[in-house]
Amino acid sequence: MKKSKQFWLFIIAAVLVYTVVQIFIANGMMNQFYSNTLIFIAINIILAVSLHLVIGITGQFSIGHAGFLAVGAYMSAIVTMKLDLPFIVGIIVGGIVAALAGLIVGIPSLRLKGDYLAIATLGFAEIIRIVFLNIDYVGGAAGMQVSHLTTWTYAFVCLVITIIVIVNFTNSRHGIASISVRENEIASDAMGINTTYYKVAAFAIGSFFAGVAGALYSHNFYIIQPSQFGFLKSFDILIFVVLGGLGSLSGAVLSAILLTVVSTYLQGYPETRMIIYSLVLILVMLYRPKGLMGTMEITDYFKLWRTPKGGDQHGK
């Protein structure tokens, strides 16, 4: 009963946000700069949330998320530009192919842990990038032109679906099992949890949504090039997740919003932008190694206000 109330509150809030923004865009009160920034924020949130599932919930240290973004971006661009199919098909195909790529990366991950897994995922992402670099069908290094099809509606609907799916997964039996994999793999194995299954599932679902984000991304920025999906992009996504707090979905969402806005705002100060960015990163890691929100969710804070001893432990 309580869960469903929360769910409906979320849906109502989402519809409200959507309508308000859509009204602003429709009657020109919000210019293209703001609407585009909002779309970009939505894409970044999808990326952050999808990686949150892999790192924050299941504890699999992946630093190659840009590879899945690239797969989604290219596949959807092929669907819309080369095959002339509708954008929605492109989004779905982008997601599915990225999920397949996630499966391929997820399977070797069974043998690897920690740093080794991190480096392997980085390697996979680079291989994906180099494969696109060598395919002339998608323009090779010079890239591929893509029509602008992403609208606020597409971006927001995808965002809402992503959050609902990942929140539901997290709160389900599967999510609890995934969290147990994160906390202690051997112990959860001993408890009869199929750790292999959950690790691969997390990779596949995370990659699916990264692919969806890739579809939105490629159709928002007119051109895609392999160089856009290098490991710096993976680090960007990783930073959203880590800064917000590993294991905190609302933390990932908030830091994706915050960092996108900061980065857009600092566009005019290029010399200092990356320096500020890296300093923030180092300072947060040194003084709050669990990220700004740790594993807390934003709803936990509301509960804290009401009952100072702490509410229920969901999301922990």
Partner 1 sequence: MEWIQQLINGISLGSIYALIALGYTMVYGIIKLINFAHGDVFMVGSFIGFYSITVFGLGFFPALILSMAACALFGVIIERIAYKRLRNATRIAALITAIGVSLLIEYGVIYIRGAQPEAYPDVFSNRSFAFLGAQISIQSILILSVSVVLMILLQFIVHKTKTGKAMRAVSHDTEAAKLMGINVDNTISATFAIGSALAGAAGVIFGIYYTKIDPLMGVIPGVKAFVAAVLGGIGIIPGAMVGGLVLGVVETIVSALGFSLWRDAAAFVILILILIFRPSGIFGKNTREKV
Partner 2 sequence: MKKSKFASLFLSSSLLIGILAGCGAEEGSSSEGGDTIKIGANLELSGATASYGTSEADAIDLAVEEINDAGGIDGKKIELIKVDNKSDAAEATNAAIKLTSQDKVTAIIGAATSGNSVAQVQIATDTKTPMISPSGTSTTVTVGDDGKVNPFTFRTAFIDPFQGTVAANFAANELKVKTAAVYADNASDYAKGLAASFIKDFEAAGGKIVAEESYVAKDTDFRSTLTNIKSSNPEFIFIPGYYEEVGLIVKQARELGITVPLMGADGWDSPTLVDLAGADALNNSFIITAFSSEDPDGKAKDFSEKFKEKYGKDPNSFNALGYDTVYLLKDAIERAGSTDGTKIKEAIEATDQLELVTGLYSVDENHHPIKSAVIIEYVDGAQVFKTKVNP
How deeply is 263 buried, as exposed, middle or buried, from its count of CB atoms within 10 A (0-12, 13-18, 19+)?
middle
**Which member of 1, 2, 33, 173 binds partner 2 (CB under 8 A)?**
33
The least CB distance from residue 228 to partner 1, in Å, is 16
Residue 122, contacted partner among partner 1, partner 2, none, CB below 5-8 A by kind: partner 1
Contact 200, 103 (CB under 8 A): yes
Site string for partner 2, 274-293 (x = CB under 8 A): x-------------x---xx
Site string for partner 2, 40-79 (x = CB under 8 A): x---------------------------------------
Residue 131, contacted partner among partner 2, partner 1, none, CB below 5-8 A by kind: partner 1
Query: What b/e string do you get for 164-187 counting C-beta neighbours within 10 Å, with b at 16 or more?
Result: ebbbebbeeebbebbbbbbeebee
Of 192 and 308, the one with the shorter C-beta distance to partner 2 is: 308
**Which member of 38, 41, 43, 55 binds partner 1 (CB under 8 A)?**
55
Q: Is 142 in the site for partner 1 (CB under 8 A)?
A: no
Site string for partner 2, 226-245 (x = CB under 8 A): -xx-x-x-------------
Q: Which residue has the tokens 């933390």?
A: 251
Q: Is 111 in the site for partner 1 (CB under 8 A)?
A: yes
Contact 127, 61 (CB under 8 A): no
**Which member of 231, 240, 252, 260 binds partner 1 (CB under 8 A)?**
231
Q: Is 28 in the site for partner 2 (CB under 8 A)?
A: no
Residue 169, contacted partner among partner 1, partner 2, none, CB below 5-8 A by kind: none
Q: Is 227 in the site for partner 1 (CB under 8 A)?
A: no
Of 21 and 112, the one with the shorter C-beta distance to partner 2 is: 21
Task: For residues 290 and 59, give the distance between their C-alpha atoms in angstroms, rounded to a whole number.
Answer: 13
Segment interacting with partner 1 (CB under 8 A) among 91-99, 178-186, 217-225, 283-291: 283-291
Task: For residues 269 and 272, give the distance between their C-alpha atoms in angstroms, rounded to a whole number.
Answer: 6
Task: For residues 42 and 257, give the distance between their C-alpha atoms in angstroms, rounded to a whole number.
Answer: 8
**Which member of 6, 19, 145, 172 binds partner 2 (CB under 8 A)?**
145
**Which member of 281, 292, 294, 299 binds partner 1 (CB under 8 A)?**
281
Q: Which residues bind partner 2 (CB under 8 A)?
A: 31-34, 36-37, 40, 133, 140-143, 145, 148, 217, 220-225, 227-228, 230, 232, 254, 257-258, 261-262, 264-265, 267-271, 273-274, 288, 292-294, 296, 298, 301, 304, 308
Q: Which residues bind partner 1 (CB under 8 A)?
A: 55, 61, 63, 108, 111-112, 114-116, 118-120, 122-124, 126-127, 130-131, 133-134, 231, 235, 238-239, 242, 246, 271-272, 274-275, 277-279, 281-282, 285-286, 289-290
